Structure formats: C-alpha cells, structure tokens
Amino acid sequence: MNPELRKKLLERMFFSPEYIERFVKYFESAVEGLHESLEWFEQHPPQDVDWESWHISNKPEGWRMRAVPNFERMLKSAKTGLENARQGDYQVIEGLTGSMLGLSRDMDVLGEKWWDYVPQDIAFKFGKNLGQAEQMAANIYRTLGGGFAARPGAILDEEITGPIDEQQLLKYLKPGEHA
C-alpha cells in the first residue's frame, strides 16, 4: 500500500465511530479493572506490612478519592462522545481524548504501593486496557485536533500510532479505491 493511501485510511479509521467505540471499550475495561483491583486489595489486604500507615496516596483510599471519580467522569464523557460521533459531532470526544494525553501527569500525585499486592492478572486488566485506551485516544486526538496534519508522516509511524492491522485498515477503502 502506498504511503498516501495508507495515510488516508489511517485518518478515516482514527476518525471513525468504530475506532472510537473500540477506544471506549478499552477504557471501560480499564475502569472495571481499577474497581476489581481496589476490591481485591480491600478483601485481601497484606498481612505482612503495615499498609494502613502508608501515605493516603499509596493506599486504595487515595485512588478511590481521586482516580475513581476522574475515571468515571471520563468514561461517561467517552460514552457521550461516542454517541455524538455517531451523529457526526466530534467535539466531546476531541476534548476528552485531548485530556487523556495529560492523564499520567494528573495521576502523578497517586502512589502505586498498593498495586504491588494485587495479583498481576487483576492489575493488568487496568494497566493493559488503560495503555491501549491512551494510545487510541492519542490517535483520535491527533487526527481530530490536527496534530498529525502538523507533522507530515507522523501518522505513518507505528512508534507514534501503535501497531496497525493492515487487514483492518483495508475496511476503510472507499468504492473504487484499491490497495
């Protein structure tokens, strides 16, 4: 596939309600994983450390107070943004995905000590899905917000966009276009 066609198809894909829906599903799974991780820790608190003496930012309580409400609001916005995108209005999803680019900075005040006591398979549901949602949010935002247009060739760089499934990309060909 030539680079110009690939660029067009990537723009269509990142702008599509289907891609936005996949982003919302990853983000929703991350929020579910956060809740499951918090519940697991609270039902199985470590017995060999005085975790209750940790600073609040390192305890689940800090995450419940700060992270959970933020993630819940963002998830609600993501769902609203998806519904609006299906109607051709991308304003909410553009704002949300732009906000997600700074999410890790917003969470810098939260410690991660309690995560060391949550089984990996449970914690990964949060981390892995959040990572995928953040990557997709960046692609959506850079497409809608003009970031890819300002950096020619960036949309073709999988170190920026993440891995792209070539077969899935072909679904965005218009009638008469050929790969």
- pLDDT (tens, 9 = 90+) of the chain, 179 residues, equals 899 999 999 999 999 999 999 999 999 999 999 999 999 999 999 999 999 999 999 999 999 998 999 999 999 999 999 999 999 999 999 999 998 888 766 677 889 999 999 999 999 999 999 999 999 999 999 999 888 988 889 999 999 999 999 999 999 999 988 88
Domain parsing of the chain, residue ranges: 3-169
* Maximum Cα–Cα distance across the chain: 66
d(CA 161, CA 141): 11
Read off the pTM: 0.93
The HSE-up count of residue 111 (CA atoms within 13 Å, CB side) is 13
